[in-house]
């Protein structure tokens, strides 16, 4: 039997709806995109790539997974789960959530378990890094993962109830296009003291991150929460943490050796969680 189902996706080449067929998505113009063995779909046309391997590279991906899976950031993820559980308790139909710049899917795994809801949740994740999406899809086949750029999200207008943007870049026009009116945008950004002791190995003068984030027009912050605590990662985990941050590009060999030589290093982690309503129609 040949099943054909309208999908949430738009063709990245001509922006028409993609129809889901047996392990392939097709538009009416005949563009077609296979579902990969791992279960995700690649909707990033080659000519949209600004490098041959866009987004995080393999070393960053491996480091991020090693560090996050040790659950140092779990208290922040649990706060998001609680917040979304409360927000979504009045929902009357399937809740559609998209994790933008989802990386290798750590937060999808934690949040999918942590959010309690009477409604079913249709969970999506998108990232420009194919390796990250492959890893995410293998770990969590129930999430619909796709490779695409945040600057041209391959989803229908107003499709999602909730967008998550956790330490990831985004494009505000695209956020507003795929989020339904009254939908929610949840952003996690570094708080003022985030990783201050790690930064001290890299920069002569450590500057705090700004505490306030600016939201795109049309969004109203409904809840802002700062979560800060300290962690004391092992030398190996410290190295993984370094690799997953932009400091990895800045640090020189001597500084890196210094960082890893310290027996114990207590590091501040500091997050700002912002939940905003999309008011504009």
- Using CB under 6 A, list all residues that contact ligand SAM: 55-56, 64, 68, 101-103, 106, 127-129, 132, 149-151, 166-169
Nearer Cβ to Zn ion (9/271): 9
Q: Tell whether residue 59 is a contact of Zn ion (CB under 5 A).
A: no
Minimum distance from residue 95 beta carbon to ligand SAM (Å): 19
Candidates 8-16, 68-76, 99-107, 257-265; binding stretch for Zn ion (CB under 5 A)? 8-16
Cβ(172)–Cβ(166) under 8 Å? no
Nearer Cβ to Zn ion (28/113): 28
Minimum distance from residue 54 beta carbon to ligand SAM (Å): 7
Candidates 25-33, 47-55, 64-72, 122-130; binding stretch for Zn ion (CB under 5 A)? 25-33
Minimum distance from residue 26 beta carbon to ligand SAM (Å): 23
| CA–CA separation, 39 and 267 (whole Å) | 37
Nearer Cβ to ligand SAM (8/101): 101
Q: Which of residues 121-140 bind Zn ion (CB under 5 A)?
A: none
Nearer Cβ to Zn ion (14/210): 14
Which of ligand SAM, Zn ion, none lies near 169, with the C-beta cut-off 5 to 8 A by kind? Answer: ligand SAM
Residue choice 4, 6, 14, 169 for contact with Zn ion (CB under 5 A)? 14
C-alpha separations of 224 from 87, 90, 150, 170, 213 in Å: 14, 21, 24, 19, 10
C-alpha separations of 78 from 60, 105, 108 in Å: 24, 15, 12
Q: Tell whether residue 19 is a contact of Zn ion (CB under 5 A).
A: no
- Contact residues for Zn ion, defined by CB under 5 A: 11, 13-14, 27, 29, 31
């Amino acid at each position: 039997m040949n099943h054909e189902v309208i999908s949430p996706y738009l063709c990245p080449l001509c922006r028409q709806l993609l129809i889901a067929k047996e392990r392939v998505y097709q538009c009416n113009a005949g563009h077609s995109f296979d579902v990969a063995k791992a279960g995700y779909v690649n909707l990033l046309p080659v000519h949209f790539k600004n490098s041959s391997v866009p987004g995080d590279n393999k070393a960053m991906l491996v480091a991020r997974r090693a560090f996050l899976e040790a659950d140092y950031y779990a208290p922040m993820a649990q706060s998001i789960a609680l917040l979304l559980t409360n927000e979504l308790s009045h929902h009357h139909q399937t809740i559609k959530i998209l994790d933008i710049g989802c990386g290798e899917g750590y937060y999808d795994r934690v949040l999918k378990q942590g959010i309690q809801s009477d409604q079913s949740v249709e969970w999506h994740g998108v990232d420009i890094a194919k390796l990250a999406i492959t890893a995410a899809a293998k770990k969590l086949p129930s999430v619909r993962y796709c490779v695409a750029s945040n600057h041209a999200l391959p989803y229908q207008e107003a499709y999602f109830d909730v967008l998550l943007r956790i330490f990831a870049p985004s494009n505000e026009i695209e956020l507003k296009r795929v989020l339904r009116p009254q939908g929610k945008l949840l952003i996690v950004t570094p708080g003022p003291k985030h990783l201050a002791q790690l930064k001290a190995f890299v920069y002569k003068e450590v500057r705090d991150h700004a505490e306030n984030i600016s939201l795109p027009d049309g969004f109203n912050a409904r809840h802002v929460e700062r979560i800060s605590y300290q962690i004391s990662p092992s030398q190996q985990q410290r190295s993984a943490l370094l690799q997953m941050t932009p400091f990895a590009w800045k640090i020189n060999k001597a500084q890196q050796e210094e960082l890893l030589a310290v027996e114990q290093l207590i590091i501040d982690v500091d997050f700002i969680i912002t939940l905003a309503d999309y008011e504009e129609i």
